[in-house]
Chain A
Amino acid sequence: MSNAVEFHRVSRRFGAVTAVDDVSFSIAAGETVALLGPSGCGKTSILRVIAGFERPDHGTVSIGGRDVTALKPYERNVGLLFQHYALFPHMTVAENIAYGLRHRGADRREIPDRVEAMLALVRLQGFGSRRPHQLSGGQQQRVALARALATRPGLILLDEPLSALDAKLRQDLRAELKQVLAAVNSTAMVVTHDQEEAMSLGERVFLMQAGRIVQVGAPSDVYGRPGSRFAADFMGRTNWIEAQVTRRETGLARALSRSGLSLTVPDCPSDAIDICVRPENIILSAADDADQHGMANSAKGRILNVALLGSTRQILVEMAGGEQILVMQANRVGDGLGPGQAVTIGFPVDACITMPAGNPTGLAA
């Protein structure tokens, strides 16, 4: 079966800015992909190239096995949800949803039923006669989704679908969005700058940086095996320990950090290495806790401060050698951790990700 979307060496420049820089990828039919990257890295540009609003300067785009590089936007059946929804303000909700049906040649008698079905899909029955400005942000987002899906596009592109909503609503709508996308069973690309959103919505994550896709993989892969410092930092909080390899064993390396921590980590071809340890993989216990003796890496330190985040808390520990390590823990009651307390931290070998030092992007390795 042919891929739903295929980019072959696509570039798009705006003056001096290369918004899309020699990008190739393919998306399987029915797959949901999250395009993740910081603001301004070219996510929207890729979306607009797929939808046909931007012609690539180089490369080809195919949709469903057909080369569409030269086709106009209305000649591709691609559903598009815009960043701030772009609902037509002079039309009712029903008219907005019917717009695509009218222009894609749906049978006129079937349009009202289809509009009702779409309203039901996004749980907005009875809102058909409202105007967009009479709806809340979340409702507008759902209308935009219904409008984009009404023509049953084989491919739907969503540009920051949740970014205009407040945090609480965003979580609810994220689950709902996932359900709706699963229900219509079409190929989808969700653009976002929020790694949580990317990991929860995408079956695969395309991580972008400065016009390029720097890593592709399942969310757990991109999070757990970042290919670069950029990827590790962008996907979540990390501790970085700069170290020098002192001895190698099968698959493992002994390394000595700048401040004198002795660590056992997965092997790495380079001698100067950066070690990434996610804060939630570090176990923290009272100074002389026997639990830590099983850990490949453990060290003593003192708590600098504790930040409560609700269900979790972040604990900053200063090690004996001066290094500061961030630990993330469930916020359990009554263990009385506080600043000044002496503690031991520990983490296993497979909690460490090693990469050659001084390679912030991982691109030219």
Chain B
Amino acid sequence: MTAIPVQPPPIAIPAPPRTTLFLLAPGLLLLFAIFALPLFGLVLESLKQYVPGRVGSAVDAPLTLENYRELATPSFAGVLYETFKLSAAASLAGLLAAFPLAYCIVRRFSPRQRAVCIGLLVMLVLLSMLVRTYALELAFGSVGVARPLFLALGISPTSRWYTETLVAAGLLHAVVPMCTLTLLGTIQNIDPRFCDAAQSLGAPAWKAHLGITVPLALPGLVSAFLIAMTFSISAFVIPMVLGKGRVLFLSNTIYTRFSDVANYPSGAAVSIVMLVISLLVLSLVSLVQRRRGSRS
């Protein structure tokens, strides 16, 4: 009798490492070339000594922490504070506006209305930021069509307070569609009968949403907030157009150092600071979320 060789099942055989590597190689190479390498260059540049008057650092410039130390000034702290304050305000306000909007789209609209709304939101996200921002400037800027209205209300369209509000509003209008789109899936995944159950147990609709829908949507709310926040912190066009140089964000500072004064090392240092801050916000919020998650 001959032994019949046992055939291994033809499924779930992991690809040999070599094939995996082969498949990954183009992507990895590309990422290395256009992401890792330039980023490394940026870090290196931020550590080089800058001689005023030059364009960028000298090839053999000595390494130094001077570019970072120089950032510890009240004016740079002011830019940081401004960036954070307006970003956080816009993100929170955006979240507050987006949640009911997303809820309505998912729960109240017919499939057709839903499709139209989602299409509109995607279009808003994809529409040129510059165009949208200039439209805002024309409507609400210091010489915008709304100027007489503001003057009549006793609001000066050239005050710092007003300019800050305008920048925050600019961020808000960019952030609301993003947050709404992020929250659609979250709300879709919450069983509407939880809310029904709460109401049958005596909770009015608003209490049911506060006690049931919102806590269950928390992970989605956190993600939406993070997306809004990281977008806002790195915003460039919005503070440039609406802030008119009076409200400066980190990105505007970076642009000035690279383009106007050609101080590449300093611009690189600010960039790295911005990157680190964004990563910190991300990890902090997800850390808090993981804590909550493991507790429950």
Q: Which partner residue on chain B sits nearest A144 by CB separation? A: B197
Contact yes or no, A72 B204, CB < 8 A? yes
B-chain residues with CB within 8 Å of residue A104 when the two chains form the complex: 201-202
B216 within 8 A of A: yes
Q: Given A51-B200, A53-B196, A147-B201 in contact, is the A86-B191 Cβ separation under 8 Å? A: yes
Contact yes or no, B202 A100, CB < 8 A? yes
Contact yes or no, A99 B193, CB < 8 A? no
Contact yes or no, A86 B196, CB < 8 A? yes
Contact yes or no, A82 B201, CB < 8 A? no
Interface residues on B, range: 10 to 19
B-chain residues with CB within 8 Å of residue A79 when the two chains form the complex: 200
B129 within 8 A of A: no
Q: How far is the CB of A45 from chain B (nearest CB, A)?
A: 13
Interface residues on A, range: 20 to 34
Contact yes or no, A82 B197, CB < 8 A? yes
Cα(A52)–Cα(B202), bound, Å: 12
Per the 8 Å Cβ criterion, residues 81-99 of A in contact with B are 82, 84, 86-90, 99
Cα(A136)–Cα(B82), bound, Å: 53
B-chain residues with CB within 8 Å of residue A87 when the two chains form the complex: 197
Cα(A79)–Cα(B199), bound, Å: 10
Cα(A307)–Cα(B203), bound, Å: 53
Q: How far is the CB of B221 from chain A (nearest CB, A)?
A: 14
Cα(A88)–Cα(B195), bound, Å: 9
Q: Given A74-B199, A74-B200 in contact, is the A86-B215 Cβ separation under 8 Å? A: no
Contact yes or no, B202 A90, CB < 8 A? no
A73 within 8 A of B: yes
B-chain residues with CB within 8 Å of residue A231 when the two chains form the complex: none
B-chain residues with CB within 8 Å of residue A148 when the two chains form the complex: 200-201
A-chain residues with CB within 8 Å of residue B203 when the two chains form the complex: 74, 99, 103
Contact yes or no, A103 B201, CB < 8 A? yes
B-chain residues with CB within 8 Å of residue A275 when the two chains form the complex: none
Taken residue by residue from 126 to 151, chain A's Cβ proximity to chain B (1 for < 8 Å, 0 otherwise) reads as 00000100000000000000011001
Q: Given A86-B191, A86-B193, A86-B196 in contact, is the A74-B204 Cβ separation under 8 Å? A: yes
Contact yes or no, B202 A151, CB < 8 A? yes
A265 within 8 A of B: no
Per the 8 Å Cβ criterion, residues 163-185 of A in contact with B are none
Per the 8 Å Cβ criterion, residues 193-220 of B in contact with A are 193-194, 196-205, 207, 211-212, 215-216
Q: Which partner residue on chain B sits nearest A97 by CB separation? A: B201
Q: Which partner residue on chain A sits nearest B204 by CB separation? A: A74
Interface centre among B193, B198, B202 (most CB of A within 10 A): B202
Out of B196, B207, B215, B296, which one reaches A82, CB within 8 Å?
A: B196
A245 within 8 A of B: no
Out of B191, B198, B216, which one reaches A99, CB within 8 Å?
A: B198
A253 within 8 A of B: no
Q: How far is the CB of B85 from chain A (nearest CB, A)?
A: 32
B-chain residues with CB within 8 Å of residue A90 when the two chains form the complex: 215-216, 296
Q: Which partner residue on chain A sits nearest B203 by CB separation? A: A103
A316 within 8 A of B: no
A36 within 8 A of B: no
Cα(A78)–Cα(B197), bound, Å: 11
B-chain residues with CB within 8 Å of residue A303 when the two chains form the complex: none
Q: Given A88-B212, A89-B216 in contact, is the A82-B193 Cβ separation under 8 Å? A: yes
A80 within 8 A of B: yes
Cα(A82)–Cα(B193), bound, Å: 8
Residues of chain A at the chain B interface (Cβ within 8 Å): 51-53, 72-74, 77-80, 82, 84, 86-90, 99-100, 103-105, 131, 147-148, 151
Q: Apart from A53-B196, A84-B193, what are 6 other A-B pairs with CB-CB below 8 Å? A: A72-B199, A72-B204, A72-B205, A86-B194, A88-B197, A103-B202
Closest 6 CB pairs of A and B: A100-B201, A103-B202, A80-B200, A104-B202, A86-B193, A73-B199
- Could you list some 23 contacts between A and B, CB below 8 A? A51-B200, A53-B196, A53-B199, A72-B199, A73-B196, A74-B199, A74-B203, A74-B204, A80-B197, A82-B196, A86-B194, A86-B196, A86-B197, A87-B197, A90-B215, A90-B216, A99-B201, A99-B203, A99-B211, A103-B201, A103-B207, A147-B197, A147-B201
